[in-house]
Amino acid sequence: MTMVSKLLSQGHYDPKAINDEFSEKVFSKYLEDLDPKKNIFLKRDVDSLAGLYGKRSMTSSTGRRWKAL
């Protein structure tokens, strides 16, 4: 077990600071994974979620934007 722990701490595991920037990336990735083609959530849905949990920019990691009605 010590060997596994050593390998994880030295090579595989890369701790990230948990801050606003990290949270925004997780939120954007989560939305991207839920609606990759931007055809499930409306822009107002994403705006509402972003107001509660994420940044206000609704551009996905691929550069596509959610559509407004």
> Residues 9-67: pLDDT tens digits?
676 667 788 888 888 888 888 889 999 998 999 989 888 888 887 654 445 555 556 55
What's the pTM value of the predicted model, to 2 decimals?
0.55
Closest CA to 55 of 35, 37, 36, 29: 29
What is the total count of domains within the chain? 1
In this prediction, residue 47 carries a pLDDT of 87
Q: Which residue range is the domain that position 28 belongs to? A: 17-69
Residue 1 lies in a domain: no
Question: Has residue 10 been placed in a domain?
Answer: no
pLDDT of residue 53: 73
Residue among 37, 38, 56, 59 at smallest CA distance from 47: 56
Residue 5, domain member (yes or no): no
Question: Does 66 map to a domain?
Answer: yes
Classify residue 12 as left (phi > 0), alpha (psi -120 to 50) or beta.
alpha
Tell me if 56 is assigned to some domain: yes
For 21, 23, 32, the CA distances from 12, given in Å and listed in that order, are: 22, 22, 25
Residue 35: per-residue pLDDT: 92
- The answer to whether residue 49 sits within a structural domain is yes
Residue 6 placed within a domain: no
Residue with the larger pLDDT of the pair 10 and 69: 10
